[in-house]
Structure 1
């Protein structure tokens, strides 16, 4: 008796009632393959951030030798964010000078993950920031990174200019 389990039975309170089955598209009021809601898309991007983002660190060349470095946030051979920072191991300080994240990765936790990566990569440094934009200010407040008003390089990072020509005297 195949299919007998699907037959409606009468209940003790009355005759059998037939439930009307709705298709998923009728239940939600949209097409079956319509775009998902904002929370589903945000959740997918958050999972993507924790699975497919690579962190690559590079040193920015410069004549002053300020120790400027950049952390690149890479997704499938495409840079989706950058964190520019300067460190001084003598003073045990780090200063975040710029933070940019692609708009599609906002509100996914990528900024938090990038700053946490910096902290784990350079343990023992006291981090500060020179950023005052609203989007980065909220992130820095959550990460407990204070902002400083003036971007002055560390005295250890500034090298005095050397004269390549010898003094004849």
Structure 2
């Protein structure tokens, strides 16, 4: 009897569904600071199609047209900027909803943030900078190939300048392929 009860509890949990719309990701990109008060602010991120229309959910098989609005409040330009990205998937396991990390095996660690797409933004001057660029994700096909388009994803982006962390942001979104 106890075995049957445990089985039924696990089966019910496995069939349970959690909110598949964390932070409104069914409708839009969500961006938030991990650590408020850091000197590099990401004011906005916009992803567009080649014709200028909004690209959402984000097609990870296509080239991304990005408009990034940044503010350097650090009082000096940022040199030698790097970016590390962690990837999480929002899913439920036996009825418990949470973000589950996806291994990237170092492919998304210590990337040059100066060479943002085709632009070189370093040194990043103080004040506000708007970067418009095209990002090709083909270097990350090994990771993209294991992603499912049925669940939301979160990138945790950590920016450093000369080894010192200057910003941490999470970007949550839905994706499509093809």
User: Normalised by the shorter chain, which TM-score bucket?
Assistant: under 0.3
TM normalised by structure 2 equals: 0.23
Greater relative contact order: 1 or 2 (C-alpha under 8 angstroms, separation 6 or more)?
2
More strand by proportion, 1 or 2?
A: 2
